[in-house]
């Protein structure tokens, strides 16, 4: 009785799978035609609808490759680097800056001064036009309002080293993603000694290390941990779900460090096969409409173009004290920082 | 005209080209610094600190314990459904493989969040154990073994059943006559299924060793995470490649185990036209049923039920399908093609190894076939890009879905190779010799005798490669032509954004895809008159 | 004397076409019974019923006076005290020769005794020096001996052998068969031996049971089957391949297509003119240069010392021996006496 089952099941599966597959292969031609290839590290959920809009507006077919930051993949950056000798991609839409700087430093980009980039402040774009920042996230503290009475939440990063917060705050594993970026920025801002001390103390203060920013958000929202460091877009998910949470921007006082703002960055790759279409895509991405949409959506990304309005409750760059970051210095320190953090957080 | 030599040589060639060449490229370049000079610098840092050795130990621990759990769950189910008169065994046989169709990470999410948090099972257990911290913080390793074992035990059941069902009943009858059912079942029937059991265990071990998602979810520090963090941080592909060597060496462990287990004792046994012997459970019938039902319940029912609840109203299924749409078809297409090619290639290689007179060549082949899987997907992918991303004719491969299929075939070949080898253990060479003497040309001998008699094992191989391809993420992101996205990407995105209901709906559909054909066939077969 | 095996009224479906029905059988204490019959006649099925690997639909089986199977009770195979040699030998590939025997003895015999018993059984079959070999390392004959050793090591009450010499060549068959018989006598073990080879059966059996389509056509010592076959089927099967129909004559002979045929021994008075079936050994027909009856030559097969010649006479196929192959059609006549075959039993 088993033999016919497995044989027929196999047949059924083959039919189920091959028929549409063959049909699809027949339909999808090769490349060519009016198209642009974009590698996109900003979560598909946010970027895909916008790219579709571009497609509809211009008639240029967008072929996009997405990444899943949450899964700690090797990332599209490595793909761009590996493809350098025979580029397949036109535009890279990164959701942070450090990788962008690395790409610039190895000559993977070509300059393009987009007219849409003009309103964006100088500190968020490359002087020679290799890349432009837009729509930023901030590193914030998500606080559970049930567990933390109003006014008693930490006001500064350094507060997390204090004994009263022992075991009471969460962070994502600082080996990847924005947490890593944050760490590099701190190393650049505070100097090695200070920064190393900070992280050692965080660990000693029994930080609840989670697998990612979203996980931090979840444990804080659930009340398992009173507060945690995460990104604005993850924090906003909890807010949208109506959980009892509040978003705190740390180090906002006069003379304080400021909150780290991590912009998206968009760039034209050297040797792009469809450079003209790529430029059109960049123009469009940096336009106020897109920043507005990103601010209005669940990712609540802060527009860097001062003329773009943000919806109610969403902070704009104007009312956040951003941390001053020497991105080049931070990028240079990445290797060292990564090694150090691995020693501390990828141990036992 | 095909001959055995032609088949094996061409299979070896395809294997070398598809799987080994990218690896060779990667390893070759580790010995050269950026300026072209020879250097072994990348290797200097590998396992340089005690911390890394500890991580390696953790990886081993996770792999070993997951394998143990998978055996604990998978073996009894295999034996009970294949070789006893267990009630409802047909139904169990049809549904047990369902968990394989969900990515392991999703199974873990299901247990960790849906069942654990949403249904409060974790809270209950924590109370029962008197814990003041979360269950996953205290018993991360146990949970990791549990989740991985639950997600992967069908692999063990699949390959074990293939071996069990290839048995000659007179061997069991002789044992029953001599010692009775119990001794016969454990010391003969089960022992003779060793090829299948070891193959399944090897699958689970291999997979769990390089698994990243589940240990990361539970904040367990393993060596795989170290390699990934290097990749992500350094852009130093050479360092990442070099640091993956320890994992690769560990991946050879199951091989050694297999060779040891099969020293001298050939399990090649003449087949019989009679179906395999079924053991009568008698007094043990209902306890055995309870055990099987329990395994199927926690393996299939509980996760699926929780998915149903979290999925919510029917509308979510439509939303999920709408969201996923073309990605799903892409994934199926890649997975079906990869499974088919990998099974064919793996079987051809397994045939060459099984029918060779030497002992070194099969062992070497075994080891080599594991490499593309043991290497982190990112390293393999970069190798592919370096090899195939060139202008001209190469675009036929690199710019299309062919590169993805090639990648999957290269990566999941060891599973097809092992399953094929295990199946061939039960096919005596005499059967092909008889055909050869009768004048049957090689191609027909290979297809109608060797492949036909290995059918069950080949189906197992196909299914394993299919589900692995369906859930593969890291390789795809790096080599897939932009514009053709796959399912796992969607799923992981949805998980990240807590679109739990949509994720759940999607998984129900995936599981349905797995079970439906089997269930339909099972129901249809049930109506056929008994054939004696 | 209690019978070693008693089958009463045993019924079992063998194939869609026929079944074993209400079969009775009695096996003596140290008797060597051969079940002889064509393939598919149910002899292996019968053996499996005795072994307990299948259960009869009805009837009663007693082994050594104890009930093994009846409508109320079914004793499992391992409790019946049976040693069995399978057609495929069923040697477990993962046990060495002594491993097979040790496995079989486990739980039945005190641990301390096991090595001694194992050695004894292996020596008995001449495999003393091959104790550590795996089945795939043994020659055909050694494997067969091992299977026998495994069957007897437990000192069973009954030995069952299901075509154990299938794979063996002629010389080996003869030798092994003789060895099996000698062993059985030495151990005074009741045994049932299933085969479709008649020479073997006739050579070693105490009694032969000829089976056909689930029924025992005739059971008796080999001589009896030979001299007084109960039916045409039995006659053909024991080697009296030439069966002719004829009429009894006044002088105690039978007039057949072959001419008048004398009868062997007093088979009872036959009424002159009565319809009779006569069976003749091949040795009882000869080719004659004069006289006799014309027959068509079908084939001649060289047998070393003589030729087996097949001819057709009056629609019947006859077999006879000749010193050399004849050319062309021949004339044949009866040389020796024939044997009266009991009238065909209505099936």
**Domains along chain A?**
35-136+263-314 (3.40.190.10), 137-260+331-345 (3.40.190.10)
Q: Are residues C31 and C102 in the same domain?
A: yes
Domain assignment of residue B371, yes or no: yes
Report the CATH number at residue C336. Answer: 2.40.50.140
Comparing alpha-carbon positions, the chain B residue that sits nearest to A273 is B391
Q: Tell which residue, C40, C39, C58, C36, has the closest CA to residue C49.
A: C58
Q: Are residues C12 and C151 in the same domain?
A: yes
Q: Are residues C337 and C258 in the same domain?
A: yes
Judging by beta carbons within 10 Å of its beta carbon (0-12, 13-18, 19+), is residue A32 exposed, middle or buried? exposed
Q: Are residues C153 and C294 in the same domain?
A: no
Question: How many Å lie between the alpha carbon of B353 and the closest alpha carbon of chain A?
Answer: 25
Strand partners, C12: C20
Residue-level pLDDT at B264: 52
Number of domains in chain B: 1
Q: Sort out which chain B residues have CB atoms less than 8 A from A54's CB and list them.
A: none
Question: How many Å lie between the alpha carbon of B196 and the closest alpha carbon of chain A?
Answer: 17
Boundary of a domain, candidates C159, C194, C227: C227
Domain assignment of residue B531, yes or no: no
% of residues, chain C, pLDDT over 70: 96
CA distances from C310 to B119, C240, C299 (A): 86, 14, 5
Neighbours of chain C (3+ CB pairs under 8 A): B
Per-residue pLDDT tens for A222-267? Answer: 888 999 999 998 898 888 888 899 999 998 888 888 899 999 999 9
Domain assignment of residue C184, yes or no: yes
Residue-level pLDDT at A24: 47
Closest CB from B217, B237, B482 relative to A211: B217
How, if at all, do strands C307-313 and C316-322 pair?
A: antiparallel
Q: Are residues C274 and C320 in the same domain?
A: yes
Surface of B (153-172) touching C: CB under 8 A: 168, 170-171
* Residue pairs spanning A and B at CB distance below 8 A: 221
Domain assignment of residue C347, yes or no: no
Question: How many Å lie between the alpha carbon of C26 and the closest alpha carbon of chain B?
Answer: 22
Judging by beta carbons within 10 Å of its beta carbon (0-12, 13-18, 19+), is residue C219 exposed, middle or buried? buried
Provide the 3-class DSSP secondary structure of residue C226.
helix
Domain assignment of residue B394, yes or no: yes
Q: Would you state the structure tokens that stand for residue A87, as one six-digit string?
A: 């580029």
Question: How many Å lie between the alpha carbon of B191 and the closest alpha carbon of chain C?
Answer: 8
Domain assignment of residue B193, yes or no: yes
Q: Are residues C158 and C268 in the same domain?
A: no
Q: Residue A263 belongs to what H/E stretch?
A: strand A261-269
Chain B contact probe: residue of C75, C90, C105, C155 with most B CBs at under 10 A: C90
- Stretch A182-199: mean pLDDT: 92
- Stretch B129-135: mean pLDDT: 76
Boundary of a domain, candidates C192, C227, C262: C227
Strand partners, C255: C247, C260
Q: Is B387:B479 a contact under the CB 8 Å cutoff?
A: no
Q: Is C309:C320 a contact under the CB 8 Å cutoff?
A: yes
Does B201 have pLDDT greater than 90?
A: yes
Does B272 have pLDDT greater than 80?
A: no
Report the CATH number at residue C62. Answer: 3.40.50.300
Does C298 have pLDDT greater than 80?
A: yes
Q: Is C160:C82 a contact under the CB 8 Å cutoff?
A: yes
Is the ipTM here above 0.90? no
Q: Sort out which chain B residues have CB atoms less than 8 A from A237's CB and list them.
A: 497-498
Q: Sort out which chain B residues have CB atoms less than 8 A from A224's CB and list them.
A: 134
Whole-prediction pTM? 0.81
Neighbours of chain A (3+ CB pairs under 8 A): B
Closest CB from C84, C94, C134 relative to B192: C94
**φ/ψ of residue A267, rounded to 5:** -150, 155
List helix spans (H) across chain C. Answer: 43-51, 97-105, 114-124, 140-152, 170-187, 198-204, 222-227, 232-238
More confident residue, B334 or B443: B334
Q: Sort out which chain B residues have CB atoms less than 8 A from A175's CB and list them.
A: 225, 229, 232-233
Question: How many Å lie between the alpha carbon of B271 and the closest alpha carbon of chain C?
Answer: 10
Q: Residue B433 belongs to what H/E stretch?
A: helix B429-437
Does B316 have pLDDT greater than 60?
A: yes
Neighbours of chain B (3+ CB pairs under 8 A): A, C
Residue-level pLDDT at C343: 57
Task: Find the range with the poorest average confidence among B188-202, B216-230, B428-442, C144-158.
Answer: B428-442
Closest CB from C52, C79, C94 relative to B265: C94
Q: Sort out which chain C residues have CB atoms less than 8 A from B265's CB and list them.
A: 93-94, 134
Rg (CA), chain A: 22
Q: Are residues C163 and C39 in the same domain?
A: yes
How, if at all, do strands C5-13 and C19-27 pair?
A: antiparallel
Q: Is A251:A157 a contact under the CB 8 Å cutoff?
A: yes
Q: Sort out which chain B residues have CB atoms less than 8 A from A10's CB and list them.
A: 459, 462
Q: Are residues C81 and C188 in the same domain?
A: yes
Domain assignment of residue C329, yes or no: yes
Residue-level pLDDT at B343: 94
Handedness of CA B278, B279, B281, B287 (dihedral sign): negative
Q: Tell which residue, C341, C56, B5, B147, has the closest CA to residue C47.
A: C56
Domain assignment of residue B140, yes or no: yes
Q: Any residues with CB less than 8 A from the CB of A207 and at least 6 apart, and which?
A: A160, A167, A169, A170, A171
Q: Tell which residue, A150, A66, A222, has the closest CA to residue B473.
A: A66
Helices vs. strands in chain A: H and E counts, helices first: 11, 10
CA distances from A103 to A98, A106, B236, C114 (A): 9, 5, 13, 77
Q: Tell which residue, B105, B128, B108, B130, has the closest CA to residue B117.
A: B108
- Stretch A59-67: mean pLDDT: 92
Chain A contact probe: residue of B103, B331, B496, B501 with most A CBs at under 10 A: B496
Residue-level pLDDT at B292: 95
- Stretch A45-53: mean pLDDT: 91
Taking the alpha carbons at both ends of chain A, their separation in whole angstroms is 51
Rg (CA), chain C: 24
Chain B contact probe: residue of A15, A73, A76, A104 with most B CBs at under 10 A: A73
Q: Is C204:C32 a contact under the CB 8 Å cutoff?
A: yes
Which residue segment(s) compose the domain that C150 sits in? Answer: 5-227
Any C CB within 8 A of B179 CB? yes
Question: How many Å lie between the alpha carbon of B317 and the closest alpha carbon of chain C?
Answer: 52
Q: Tell which residue, C347, C28, C36, has the closest CA to residue C222.
A: C36
CA distance B470 to A224: 35
Q: Is C308:C268 a contact under the CB 8 Å cutoff?
A: no
Q: How confident is the model at residue A9 (pLDDT cuts 50, 70, 90)?
A: very low
CB–CB contact B496 A214 (8 Å): yes
Residue-level pLDDT at C34: 93
Q: Would you state the structure tokens that stand for residue B256, as one six-digit string?
A: 């050694």
Domain assignment of residue C346, yes or no: no
Q: Sort out which chain B residues have CB atoms less than 8 A from A335's CB and list them.
A: 233-234
DSSP sequence for B355-393: T-S-SHHHHHHHHHHHHHHHS-HHHHHHHHHHHH--SGG
Residue-level pLDDT at A7: 47
CB–CB contact A30 B495 (8 Å): no
Average of per-residue pLDDT values in chain A: 84
Number of domains in chain C: 2
Q: Are residues C308 and C247 in the same domain?
A: yes
Residue-level pLDDT at C194: 93
Domain assignment of residue C149, yes or no: yes
Average of per-residue pLDDT values in chain B: 84
Boundary of a domain, candidates C227, C245, C263: C227
Q: Tell which residue, C188, C189, C218, has the closest CA to residue C201.
A: C218
Q: Is A131:A105 a contact under the CB 8 Å cutoff?
A: no
**Contact flag for A and C (3+ C-beta pairs < 8 Å):** no
Across the beta sheet with C293-302, the strand order is C285-288, C330-334, C293-302, C307-313, C316-322
- What DSSP state is assigned to residue C338? B
**Contact flag for B and A (3+ C-beta pairs < 8 Å):** yes
Per-residue pLDDT tens for B478-532? Answer: 888 888 888 888 887 777 766 778 888 888 888 887 776 666 665 665 543 322 2
* Residue pairs spanning B and C at CB distance below 8 A: 72
Comparing alpha-carbon positions, the chain B residue that sits nearest to A8 is B521
Q: Residue C161 belongs to what H/E stretch?
A: strand C158-162
CB–CB contact B265 C150 (8 Å): no
Q: Would you state the structure tokens that stand for residue C137, as one six-digit string?
A: 């390392």
CB–CB contact C136 B181 (8 Å): no
Domain assignment of residue B532, yes or no: no
Residue-level pLDDT at A73: 52
Per-residue pLDDT tens for A87-119? Answer: 999 999 998 888 898 899 899 999 999 998 899
Q: Is B423:B451 a contact under the CB 8 Å cutoff?
A: no
- Which residues of chain C have a Cβ shorter than 8 Å from any chain B Cβ? 16, 51-53, 76-79, 82, 84, 86-88, 90, 92-94, 103-104, 106-107, 134, 136, 150, 154
List helix spans (H) across B31-168. Answer: 41-44, 50-83, 89-95, 104-109, 121-129, 135-138, 140-164
Handedness of CA B128, B129, B130, B136 (dihedral sign): negative
Q: Are residues C77 and C118 in the same domain?
A: yes
Across the beta sheet with C5-13, the strand order is C19-27, C5-13, C58-63, C66-69
Residue B67: CA atoms inside 13 Å, Cβ hemisphere, count? 21
Provide the 3-class DSSP secondary structure of residue A307.
coil
Q: Are residues C20 and C157 in the same domain?
A: yes
CA distance A251 to C128: 89
Q: Are residues C223 and C239 in the same domain?
A: no
CA distance C95 to C98: 8
Residue-level pLDDT at A3: 38
At which residue do the structure tokens 């001599």 appear? B178
Q: Would you state the structure tokens that stand for residue A183, as one six-digit string?
A: 């760490």
CA distance A170 to B299: 32
Which residue segment(s) compose the domain that B147 sits in? Answer: 4-526
Closest CB from C77, C87, C93 relative to B177: C77
Domain assignment of residue C63, yes or no: yes
Does B80 have pLDDT greater than 90?
A: yes
Chain B contact probe: residue of C39, C88, C134 with most B CBs at under 10 A: C88
DSSP sequence for C263-329: BSS------TT-EEEEEE-GGGEEEESSSSEEEEEEEEEE-SSSEEEEEEETTEEEEEEESS---S-
Q: Would you state the structure tokens that stand for residue B68, as one six-digit string?
A: 């143990």
Residue-level pLDDT at B527: 40
Question: How many Å lie between the alpha carbon of B458 and the closest alpha carbon of chain C?
Answer: 24
């Amino acid at each position: 009785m088993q033999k016919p089952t497995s044989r027929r099941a196999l047949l059924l599966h083959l039919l189920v799978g091959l028929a549409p597959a063959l049909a699809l292969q027949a339909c999808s031609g090769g490349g060519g035609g009016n198209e642009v290839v974009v590698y996109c590290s900003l979560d598909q959920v946010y970027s895909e609808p916008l790219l579709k809009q571009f497609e509809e507006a211009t008639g240029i077919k967008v072929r996009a490759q997405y990444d899943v930051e949450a899964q700690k993949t090797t990332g599209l950056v490595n793909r761009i680097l590996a493809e350098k000798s025979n580029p397949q991609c036109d535009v890279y839409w990164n959701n942070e800056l450090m990788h962008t700087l690395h790409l610039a430093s190895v000559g993977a980009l070509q300059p393009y001064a987009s007219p849409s980039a003009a309103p964006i402040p100088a500190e968020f774009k490359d002087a020679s036009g290799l890349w432009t920042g837009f729509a930023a996230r901030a590193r914030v503290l998500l606080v559970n309002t049930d567990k933390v009475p109003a006014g008693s939440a930490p006001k500064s990063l350094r507060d997390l080293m204090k004994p009263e917060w022992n075991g009471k705050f969460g962070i994502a594993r600082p080996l990847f993603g924005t947490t890593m970026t944050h760490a590099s920025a701190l190393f650049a801002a505070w100097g090695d000694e200070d920064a190393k001390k900070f992280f050692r103390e965080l660990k000693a203060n029994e930080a609840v290390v989670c697998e990612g920013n979203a996980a931090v958000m979840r444990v804080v929202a659930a009340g398992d941990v009173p507060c945690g460091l995460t990104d604005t877009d993850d924090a906003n998910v909890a807010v949208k779900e109506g959980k009892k949470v509040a978003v705190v921007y740390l180090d906002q006082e006069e003379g304080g460090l400021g909150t780290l703002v991590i912009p998206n960055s968009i760039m034209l790759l050297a040797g792009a096969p469809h450079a003209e279409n790529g430029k059109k895509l960049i123009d469009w991405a940096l336009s106020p409409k897109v920043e507005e949409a990103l601010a209005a959506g669940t990712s609540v990304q802060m527009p860097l173009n001062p003329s773009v309005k943000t919806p109610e409750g969403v902070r704009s760059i104007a009312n956040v004290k951003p941390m001053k970051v020497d991105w080049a210095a931070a990028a240079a320190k990445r290797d060292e920082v990564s090694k150090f953090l691995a020693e501390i957080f990828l141990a036992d | 005209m095909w001959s055995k030599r032609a088949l094996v040589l061409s299979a070896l060639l395809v294997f070398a080209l598809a799987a080994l060449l990218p690896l060779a490229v990667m390893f070759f370049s580790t010995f050269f610094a950026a300026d072209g000079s020879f250097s072994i610098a990348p290797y200097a840092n590998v396992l340089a600190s005690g911390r890394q050795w500890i991580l390696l130990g953790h990886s081993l621990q996770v792999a070993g314990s997951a394998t143990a759990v998978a055996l604990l769950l998978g073996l009894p189910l295999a034996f009970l459904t294949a070789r006893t008169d267990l009630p409802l065994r047909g139904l169990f046989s049809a549904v047990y493989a369902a968990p394989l169709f969900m990515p392991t990470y999703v199974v873990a999410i299901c247990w960790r969040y849906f069942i654990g948090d949403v249904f409060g099972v974790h809270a209950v257990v924590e109370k029962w154990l008197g814990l003041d911290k979360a269950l996953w913080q205290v018993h991360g390793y146990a949970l990791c073994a549990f989740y991985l074992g639950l997600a992967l035990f069908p692999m063990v059941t699949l390959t074990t059943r293939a071996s069990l069902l290839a048995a000659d009943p007179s061997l069991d009858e002789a044992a029953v006559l001599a010692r009775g059912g119990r001794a016969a079942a454990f010391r003969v029937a089960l022992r003779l299924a060793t090829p299948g059991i070891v193959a399944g265990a090897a699958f689970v071990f291999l997979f769990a060793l390089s698994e990243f998602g589940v240990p990361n979810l539970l904040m367990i520090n393993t060596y795989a995470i170290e390699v990934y963090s290097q990749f992500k941080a350094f852009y130093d592909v050479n360092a990442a490649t070099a640091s993956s060597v320890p994992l690769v060496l560990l991946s050879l462990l199951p091989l050694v185990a297999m060779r040891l287990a099969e020293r001298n004792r050939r399990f090649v046994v003449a087949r019989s036209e009679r179906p395999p012997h079924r053991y009568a459970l008698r007094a043990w019938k209902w306890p055995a049923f309870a055990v099987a039902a329990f395994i199927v319940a926690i393996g299939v029912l509980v996760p699926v039920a929780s998915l149903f609840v979290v999925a919510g109203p029917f509308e979510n299924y439509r939303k999920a399908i709408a969201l996923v749409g073309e990605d799903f078809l892409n994934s199926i297409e890649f997975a079906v093609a990869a499974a088919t090619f990998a099974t064919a290639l793996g079987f051809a290689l397994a045939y060459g190894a099984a029918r060779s007179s030497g002992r070194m060549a099969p062992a070497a082949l075994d080891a080599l076939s594991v490499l593309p899987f043991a290497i982190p997907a990112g390293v393999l992918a970069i190798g592919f890009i370096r090899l195939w991303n060139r202008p001209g004719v190469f675009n036929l491969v690199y710019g299309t879905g062919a590169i993805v299929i090639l990648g999957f075939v290269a990566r999941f070949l060891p599973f097809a190779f092992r399953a094929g080898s295990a199946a061939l253990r039960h096919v005596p060479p005499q059967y092909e010799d008889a055909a050869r003497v009768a004048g049957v040309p090689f191609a027909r001998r290979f297809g109608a005798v060797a492949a036909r008699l290995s059918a069950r094992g080949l189906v197992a191989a196909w299914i394993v490669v299919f589900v692995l391809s369906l859930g593969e993420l890291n390789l795809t992101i790096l080599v897939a032509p932009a514009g053709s996205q796959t399912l796992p990407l969607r799923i992981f995105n949805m998980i990240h954004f807590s679109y739990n209901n949509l994720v759940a709906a999607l998984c129900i559909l995936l599981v349905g895809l797995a079970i439906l054909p089997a269930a339909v066939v099972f129901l249809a077969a049930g109506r056929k008159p008994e054939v004696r | 004397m209690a019978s070693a095996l008693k089958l009463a009224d045993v019924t079992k479906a063998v194939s869609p076409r026929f079944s074993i029905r209400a079969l009775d059988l009695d096996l003596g204490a140290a008797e060597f019974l051969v079940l002889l019959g064509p393939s598919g006649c149910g002899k292996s099925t019968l053996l499996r019923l005795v072994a307990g690997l299948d259960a009869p639909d009805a009837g009663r089986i007693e082994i050594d006076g104890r009930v093994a199977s009846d409508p109320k009770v079914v004793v499992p195979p391992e409790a019946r005290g049976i040693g069995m040699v399978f057609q495929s030998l069923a040697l477990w590939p993962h046990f060495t020769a002594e491993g097979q025997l040790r496995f079989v003895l486990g739980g039945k015999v005190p641990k301390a005794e096991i090595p001694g018993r194992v050695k004894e059984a292996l020596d008995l079959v001449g495999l003393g020096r091959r104790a550590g070999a795996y089945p795939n390392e043994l020659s055909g004959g050694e494997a067969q001996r091992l299977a026998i050793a495994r069957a007897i090591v437990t000192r069973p009450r009954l030995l069952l052998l299901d075509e154990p010499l299938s794979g063996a060549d002629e010389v080996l068959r003869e030798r092994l068969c003789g060895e099996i018989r000698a062993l059985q006598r030495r151990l005074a073990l009741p045994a049932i031996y299933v085969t479709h080879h008649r020479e073997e059966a006739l050579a070693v059996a105490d009694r032969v049971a000829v089976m056909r389509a689930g029924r025992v056509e005739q059971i008796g010592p080999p001589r009896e089957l030979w001299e007084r076959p109960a039916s045409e089927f039995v006659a053909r099967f024991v080697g009296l391949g030439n069966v002719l129909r004829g009429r009894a004559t006044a002088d105690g002979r039978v007039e057949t297509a072959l001419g008048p045929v004398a009868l062997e021994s007093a088979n009872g008075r036959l009424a002159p003119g009565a319809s009779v079936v006569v069976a003749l050994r091949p040795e009882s027909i000869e080719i004659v240069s004069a006289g006799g009856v014309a027959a068509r030559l079908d084939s001649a097969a060289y047998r070393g010392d003589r030729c087996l010649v097949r001819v057709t006479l009056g629609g019947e196929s006859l077999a006879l021996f000749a010193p050399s192959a004849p050319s062309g059609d021949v004339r044949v006549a009866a040389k020796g006496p024939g044997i009266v075959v009991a009238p065909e039993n209505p099936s």
